[in-house]
Amino acid sequence: MKTASFSPTGIRFENIDKRYGALYALRRVSLEIPAGECVAFAGRNGSGKTTLLRIAARLARLSSGAVNFLDESGEKLATPPGAGFVAHATMVYDELTAEENLLLFARLQGIDQPAARAEALLGEVGLLERRNSLVRTFSRGMRQRVAIARALLSEPPVVLLDEPTTGLDPQGARWFAQTVRQLRDSGRTILMSLHGESEVSTLATRAIRLDAGAVVADTQTGANFRSILAFTNA
Amino acid sequence: MALLSNTAVLLGKELRTEFRSRELLTTTVVFILTIVVLFSFTFDPSVNESRRFGPGLLWLAFLFAASLMLQPCFLREQTNDTLSALRLSVNDPFAIFLAKLAANTLFMLFTQILLLPVFSILYNVPVLAAFPQLVLVMFMGSLGLSVTGTALSAISAQARMRELLLPLLLLPLLTPVLIASTEATASLLVLNPIMPWKWLGFLLGFDVVFLTALWLFGEYLLEE
């Protein structure tokens, strides 16, 4: 990924709760993630990782608490920037070509020169030659490349990755890890939910474990770091 | 302006994906044709009977076809979670609804216009004399079906037993549209057609009320 024009941005979760009826998906979660940090969330299925990321993307509404985006000095931003979101689901249309998908979302986001931006991103994710192929003809790895390109259309300072490597073959996972490394090195803030250790998890600069919607471990260094990332459903 | 440009972009996407897959149009046209042909052979109505019962039959067929057409409207956005991508991309979620209801109205109107000549031949009811007025009634009726159906499709897509939920919610709510559209169509299929302003006004009122409700509360229908 090329170095893009964005302002480094952090996120602060202030005592957030998310309830579905009587069930707590997140319970009093407070975290401050400075600009440029690469955070890996680990935990069992249902521990609240996806909910936390969807709240950061403003796709899910909070039951209580607040989420604020911060500038480099930690001050709250008046206008929150858009976050790039990549999930296990590709969030692109199978019946459109790779280029049509990027043009659609670029136009919706009001991006200047959408065709040029789409072409540049297709080149960066290595799909320029398949730009006119329908996404439904793509492999899982290629679809995930389109998903990454879609998420980066507006050059977001914050990138949210929700189990993005699920279903990828080793080659696809390696490409993905390389892309995350480039995103991290470009100064973007990255929040990713992962299942167990992988090439992507080694890029994290901070590891947080969630259990039953609460933060139970949060570390940047030490032996605990690896044990959090190695955490699986077992 | 952003609302209109986003709506136009999304409408283009709806039309493109439908003309590539032809899922909705094919299903709906075949379904309505089957109903109209079956009723024609079952009852073998005279011209007068056709004029009396034809409009009701037509709009019942449109209503059932609409529930078929509207079901996948939001459901297919869930396959790849594209609804989340749309919500992240548009400033005003009403654009998503506007584009979907415009597409649904167009698809339904296209189906109805395609069916009118078939209805005319099978039921021996001339439609050419009041064709433009019929198209206007069908447009207003289709808009009524689409506005309500698009909103309910967004609700039912997130529910369990969604296949049952949409028709259950849709059919009672659309009774006023069905009555007004049937009456308006009937007054255009008589020997001396008259413009059914009263019923058109009713349809316009229904469309405006539901469109306003969708504009005010649509955002909440898309939330998780």
- Interface mutation target, options A91, A100, A101, A102, chain B, most CBs of B under 10 Å: A91
Question: At residue A3, does pLDDT exceed 90?
Answer: no
pLDDT at site A234:
44
What is the arithmetic mean of pLDDT over A156-173? 88
Question: At residue A233, does pLDDT exceed 60?
Answer: no
The DSSP line for B157-193 is TTSTTHHHHHHHHHHHHTHHHHHHHHHHHHHHHSSS-
Are the beta carbons of A93 and B82 separated by less than 8 Å? yes
Nearest CA distance, B100 vs chain A (angstrom):
15
Q: Measured between beta carbons, which residues in chain A are less than 8 angstroms from residue B224? A: 54, 59-61
Whole-number Å distance between alpha carbons of A192 and A40: 5
User: Which pLDDT tens digit goes with each residue over B139-192?
Assistant: 999 999 999 999 999 888 877 777 788 888 888 899 999 999 999 999 998 888
For chain A, give the mean pLDDT: 89
What is the arithmetic mean of pLDDT over B184-212? 92
User: Which pLDDT tens digit goes with each residue over A199-227?
Assistant: 788 888 899 999 999 999 888 876 667 77
SS3 string, chain A, reads CCCCCCCCCEEEEEEEEEEECCEEEEEEEEEEECCCCEEEEECCCCCCHHHHHHHHCCCCCCCEEEEEEECCCCCECCCCCCEEEECCCCCCCCCCEHHHHHHHHHHHCCCCCHHHHHHHHHHHCCCHHHCCCEHHHCCHHHHHHHHHHHHCCCCCCEEEEECCCCCCCHHHHHHHHHHHHHHHHCCCEEEEECCCCCCCHHHCCEEEEEECCEEEEEECCCHHHHHHHCCCCC
Nearest CA distance, A201 vs chain B (angstrom):
24
Q: Measured between beta carbons, which residues in chain B are less than 8 angstroms from residue A89? A: 80-81, 84
A4: exposed, middle or buried (C-beta count within 10 Å: 0-12, 13-18, 19+)?
middle
| ipTM of the complex model | 0.90
Q: Measured between beta carbons, which residues in chain B are less than 8 angstroms from residue A109? A: 89
Are the beta carbons of B85 and A109 separated by less than 8 Å? no
Q: Measured between beta carbons, which residues in chain B are less than 8 angstroms from residue A21? A: none
State which amino acid sits at residue B16: R
| Coil vs helix vs strand at B222 | helix
CB A52 within 8 A of CB A210: yes
Question: At residue B22, does pLDDT exceed 70?
Answer: yes
For residue A94, what is the nearest residue in chain B, using CA coordinates?
B80
For B12, the enclosing helix (H) or strand (E) is helix B2-21
User: Which pLDDT tens digit goes with each residue over A16-60?
Assistant: 999 988 899 999 999 999 999 999 998 888 899 999 999 999 999
Are the beta carbons of A87 and B84 separated by less than 8 Å? yes
Question: At residue B42, does pLDDT exceed 50?
Answer: yes
User: Which pLDDT tens digit goes with each residue over B57-86?
Assistant: 999 999 988 888 888 889 889 889 999 999
Among B71, B181, B88, CA closest to B136: B181
Total structural domains within chain B: 1
Q: Which of A60, A91, A108 sits opposite B80 (nearest CB)?
A: A91
Whole-number Å distance between alpha carbons of A114 and A109: 9
Place of tokens 């059919």: B171
CB A155 within 8 A of CB A3: no
pLDDT at site A232:
54
pLDDT at site B166:
84
User: Which pLDDT tens digit goes with each residue over A114-126?
Assistant: 999 999 999 999 9
What is the arithmetic mean of pLDDT over A150-172? 90
Token pair of A68 as six digits: 């604020």
Q: Which phi and psi angles does A37 have, rounded to 5°?
A: -80, 150
Are the beta carbons of A61 and B223 separated by less than 8 Å? yes
Question: At residue A158, does pLDDT exceed 70?
Answer: yes
Are the beta carbons of B10 and A108 separated by less than 8 Å? yes
User: Which pLDDT tens digit goes with each residue over B97-134?
Assistant: 999 999 999 999 999 999 999 999 998 888 888 899 99
User: Which pLDDT tens digit goes with each residue over A71-81?
Assistant: 888 888 888 88
Structural domain boundaries, residue B137: 2-222
Question: At residue B45, does pLDDT exceed 60?
Answer: yes
Whole-number Å distance between alpha carbons of B53 and A80: 58
Q: Measured between beta carbons, which residues in chain A are less than 8 angstroms from residue B79? A: 94
pLDDT at site A222:
64
For residue B20, what is the nearest residue in chain A, using CA coordinates?
A95
CB B204 within 8 A of CB B183: no
For chain B, give the mean pLDDT: 90
Place of tokens 């039912």: B156
| Residue A2 pLDDT class (50, 70, 90 cuts) | very low
Whole-number Å distance between alpha carbons of A49 and A79: 25
pLDDT at site B40:
86
